[in-house]
Amino acid sequence: MSLFDQTQAVENHFAKSNPNYLESMFGRTDLAPLWIADMEFKIAAPISEELKRLVDRGVYSYEFIEKDVVQAISDWNLKRHQLQLDTSSFLQVPGVLTGISILVRELSQERDAVLVQTPVYHQFFKLIKSANRTVVENPLKIQDGKYFIDFEDLEQKFKSEKVKLMILCNPHNPVGRVWTKEEMIQLNHLANQYGVTIISDEIHSDIIFSTSKFNSIASVDTLQKHIAVIGSPAKTFGMHSISNGYLYVPNEDVRQQLKSIIGGMYLDHGNILSAYGTIAAYTKGEEWLNELLGYLEQSNQWIKEFVSNELPAVTLFQPEGTYQIWLDFSALKLSDEILQHLVVDKAKLALTPGNWFGEQHGQFMRMNIASPLATLQDAFYRLKKAIDERDQLTELKKEASKGCCSC
Ligand SMILES: Cc1ncc(COP(=O)(O)O)c(C=O)c1O
């Protein structure tokens, strides 16, 4: 039995299974929580041991070890991704979304255009809009069952919308693409040509399956002018609620500008549990991560076979990275509302509705697969039963169409 087969019966108020959250998001609480992108697995033993060591010390005097943290991140990237990162180009922030929000606010003006590639992680919309910037979409295109960047549309939007910033998601949440070197070169070239700064969210950069290789935008950046990378150990090591974020900004002027605002607000102080936990993760967590990736690949394989044999009307986008899978239900020919009813009320699953990632994705759902395989299997059996029995949804269909005609 694998470490990752074990369910964790610990007392908690985890957001994904919190009845109040489930009730407000899905209207009921008896659901398998496969929506929020975190892990149900216990973190690597060396990280736990390090956290215990700090708790046992019992003294929490101010302690700043950012240099050691950055060294650990840099060494990890060199070993894991053959990516050379200059330790003097990092800035510490409380989290990835905080980091991106600071970048958006510092590197653009109100009403400036910020481009995202839909479908995309829904928090990007919120952080752009709450900074009073304008969202410009460069929809990804599907070819032969795989998502690609539409470079023609991208260039056109860079020009016509006077795009100032682009938030890249690499690997891409929710479609699971790990962008190739060629794609990153082409993107970087266009960004340089049109003076667009790429904010590259690389939080999922270590969840890469064996058929792919991670290519940071930093690995193809020639000008060192128009990129800012942000990452953290959160997704890699399941440290979601205990990690800081790390900005990597090669351009000296831009980095100094950011440093003064981040330092001026004392957002770089960090938390010593996160700091030592991060060092432990990157220096002693590799074996655990390799096991995790093997486990996730097996789960992916099981899901792929199940969907192709048992759910012919569902299209699965096989992820190259991330522990999210993206499912297309459009062949069922149900309305968005009925589909949601099928998944939530019949299959009793809390999946992330596709329209969170872009309005036109109501026929899609994202499922988080960082759970024991048995949990995922149970979810898919329930999904199959609900789909097989979908004729019983006719009553609701009639209700829905009644509502529609009267409007
Ligand atoms: C692409 C992406 N960026 C950022 C985050 C959140 O990062 P943080 O919790 O460090 O703000 C997530 C979480 O799901 C994510 O998927």
Min mean pLDDT across 31-35, 347-351, 395-399 is at 395-399
Look up the CATH number of the domain holding residue 329. Answer: 3.90.1150.10
pLDDT at 393 (0 to 100): 75
pTM comes to: 0.95
- Domain with 306, as residue range(s), is 19-43+286-389
Summarize the confidence of residues 24-48 as an average pLDDT.
Answer: 96
Question: Cα(97) to centroid of ligand 1, in Å?
Answer: 6
Ligand 1 binding pocket mutation candidate from 34, 116, 173 (most atoms within 8 A of CB): 173
Ligand 1 binding pocket mutation candidate from 203, 242, 326 (most atoms within 8 A of CB): 203
Q: Among 285, 312, 342, give the residue marking a domain's end.
A: 285
The reply to whether 276 and 130 lie within a common domain is: yes
Summarize the confidence of residues 262-282 as an average pLDDT.
Answer: 96
169 CA: nearest ligand 1 atom: 1
What is the band of 223 on the pLDDT scale with cuts at 50, 70, 90?
Answer: confident
pLDDT tens for each residue of 138-194: 999 999 999 999 999 999 999 999 999 999 999 999 999 999 999 999 999 999 999
pLDDT tens for each residue of 96-123: 999 999 999 999 999 999 999 999 999 9
Residue nearest to atom 8 of ligand 1 (CA): 96
The reply to whether 213 and 67 lie within a common domain is: yes
Q: Is residue 53 part of a domain?
A: yes
Look up the CATH number of the domain holding residue 163. Answer: 3.40.640.10
240 CA: nearest ligand 1 atom: 9
The reply to whether 258 and 307 lie within a common domain is: no
- The answer to whether the CB of 300 falls within 8 A of the CB of 209 is yes
- The answer to whether the CB of 215 falls within 8 A of the CB of 227 is no
The reply to whether 232 and 361 lie within a common domain is: no
Q: Is residue 7 part of a domain?
A: no
368: which strand partners?
324
Q: Is residue 225 part of a domain?
A: yes
Select from 264, 276, 313 the least CA-distant residue to 72: 276
Report how far Cα 390 is from the mean position of its chain's Cα atoms. Answer: 31
The binding-site residues of ligand 1, defined as CB within 6 angstroms of any ligand atom, are: 37, 95-97, 121, 169, 173, 201, 203, 232, 234, 245
In three-state secondary structure terms, 70 is helix
pLDDT at 401 (0 to 100): 43
- The answer to whether the CB of 216 falls within 8 A of the CB of 198 is no
The whole-chain average pLDDT of the chain stands at 95
pLDDT value at 396 more than 70: no
Whether the CA torsion 275, 277, 280, 281 is positive or negative: it is negative
Q: Is residue 55 part of a domain?
A: yes
- Report residue 166 as tokens: 């682009």
Q: Is residue 349 part of a domain?
A: yes
Ligand 1 binding pocket mutation candidate from 96, 101, 205, 368 (most atoms within 8 A of CB): 96
Measured CA to CA, the distance from residue 174 to residue 366 in angstroms comes to 7
98 CA: nearest ligand 1 atom: 11
Ligand 1 binding pocket mutation candidate from 123, 200, 214, 352 (most atoms within 8 A of CB): 123
pLDDT value at 406 more than 90: no
Please report where in the chains the tokens 């099928």 appear, as a residue: 342
Sheet holding 227-231, edge to edge: 90-93, 245-248, 227-231, 197-201, 163-169, 113-116, 134-137
In three-state secondary structure terms, 6 is coil
Summarize the confidence of residues 276-304 as an average pLDDT.
Answer: 98
pLDDT at 404 (0 to 100): 36
pLDDT at 289 (0 to 100): 98
Question: Cα(403) to centroid of ligand 1, in Å?
Answer: 37
38 CA: nearest ligand 1 atom: 14
37 CA: nearest ligand 1 atom: 14
* Residues ≥6 apart with Cβ < 8 Å to 253: none
Summarize the confidence of residues 340-350 as an average pLDDT.
Answer: 98
What is the band of 394 on the pLDDT scale with cuts at 50, 70, 90?
Answer: low
The reply to whether 263 and 295 lie within a common domain is: no
Q: Among 232, 261, 285, give the residue marking a domain's end.
A: 285
DSSP string, 206-259: T-B-TT-----GGGT-SSSSSEEEEE-SHHHHT-TTS--EEEE---HHHHHHHH
The reply to whether 246 and 270 lie within a common domain is: yes
Measured CA to CA, the distance from residue 116 to residue 121 in angstroms comes to 9
Measured CA to CA, the distance from residue 246 to residue 237 in angstroms comes to 15
pLDDT at 407 (0 to 100): 32
Question: Cα(95) to centroid of ligand 1, in Å?
Answer: 8
pLDDT value at 312 more than 50: yes
Q: Is residue 195 part of a domain?
A: yes
Q: Which long-range contacts (CB under 8 A, 24 or more apart) does 401-407 make?
A: none
Angle subtended at Cα 367 by Cα 357 and Cα 206, rounded to the nearest 5 degrees: 85
The reply to whether 66 and 203 lie within a common domain is: yes
Question: Cα(110) to centroid of ligand 1, in Å?
Answer: 24
Q: Among 241, 264, 285, give the residue marking a domain's end.
A: 285
pLDDT at 75 (0 to 100): 98
The reply to whether 167 and 278 lie within a common domain is: yes
pLDDT > 90: percent of the chain? 91
- Report residue 302 as tokens: 């099981």
The reply to whether 134 and 245 lie within a common domain is: yes
Question: Cα(241) to centroid of ligand 1, in Å?
Answer: 11
Q: Is residue 10 part of a domain?
A: no
pLDDT value at 361 more than 90: yes
- The answer to whether the CB of 126 falls within 8 A of the CB of 161 is no
The reply to whether 122 and 214 lie within a common domain is: yes
- Report residue 1 as tokens: 């039995």
The reply to whether 259 and 322 lie within a common domain is: no
pLDDT at 181 (0 to 100): 98
The reply to whether 39 and 55 lie within a common domain is: no
Q: What is the dihedral of CA 342, 346, 348, 352, to 10 degrees?
A: 0
Measured CA to CA, the distance from residue 13 to residue 269 in angstroms comes to 27
Question: Cα(365) to centroid of ligand 1, in Å?
Answer: 18
Question: Cα(399) to centroid of ligand 1, in Å?
Answer: 38
Domain count, the chain: 2
Q: Is residue 156 part of a domain?
A: yes
